[in-house]
Amino acid sequence: MAERSRVKVKGDLAGYEVGYRKPPRETRFKPGQSGNPKGRPRGSLDVATVLARTLREQVVVNEGGRRRSITKLEAAVKQIVNKAAGGDASSVRFLIGLAQMVEAQVETHETSAELPEADREVMANMLKRLQRVAQQGDIDDNL
């Protein structure tokens, strides 16, 4: 078996072994020094943020002889819907896919908003009390 070579170092690093995953201490990154100094600059934006900002920008459109200010997202959706209504097949396919995606999100949101059983019982009891009070006519004394 081959012997590992030891690097002769002066001072407190004497006997430090240099090898696989053990770089010389003097060439290691210093505390606070980045391993990628020319990496992504601080404050740079990702694609999702840039897209969201751009879609929220306002544009002026003419609708029915009137000038209105709407978001770019709204303008794009209007164009897709108008092209689909005009018979453009690719716009129809895109619009159907978009509508299905929105429906799925709405259904997911509605099912996730269901109340737990205990909360439903509390709500049912409150409803019964309110109905009883409404029948008797005096709200302040019975609550």
| Domain encompassing residue 71 | 60-112
Residue 46 has pLDDT above 60, yes or no: yes
Specify the range with the lowest mean pLDDT, choosing from 39-53, 75-89, 97-111. Answer: 97-111
For residues 75 and 61, the answer to whether their CB atoms sit within 8 Å is yes
Give the span between the Cα atoms of 101 and 109, in whole angstroms: 12
Tell me the C-alpha distance between 78 and 85, whole Å.
Answer: 10
Mapped onto helix, strand or coil, the DSSP state of residue 58 is: strand
- Asked whether the predicted pLDDT for residue 139 surpasses 90, the reply is no
Report the mean per-residue pLDDT for the chain: 81
* Nearest residue to 17 via CA among 1, 4, 34, 27: 4
d(C-alpha 91, C-alpha 132), whole Å = 55
Give the predicted TM-score (pTM) of the model: 0.50
Higher pLDDT, 111 or 122: 122
One domain, residues 75 and 91: yes
Confidence of residue 142 (pLDDT cuts 50, 70, 90): very low
Confidence of residue 113 (pLDDT cuts 50, 70, 90): low
Residue 91 has pLDDT above 50, yes or no: yes
User: Comparing C-alpha atoms, which of 60, 62, 80, 79 is closest to residue 71?
Assistant: 60
Reading phi first (left if > 0) and then psi (alpha if -120 to 50, else beta), residue 65 is in left
50: its two tokens: 């840039």
123 and 90 in a common domain: no
Tokens of 57: 């920008």
- 64, part of any domain: yes
* pLDDT value at residue 58: 97
Give the per-residue pLDDT at 53.
Answer: 96
Number of domains in the chain: 2
Instruction: Say whether both 99 and 142 belong to one domain.
Output: no
> Both 102 and 133 in a single domain?
no
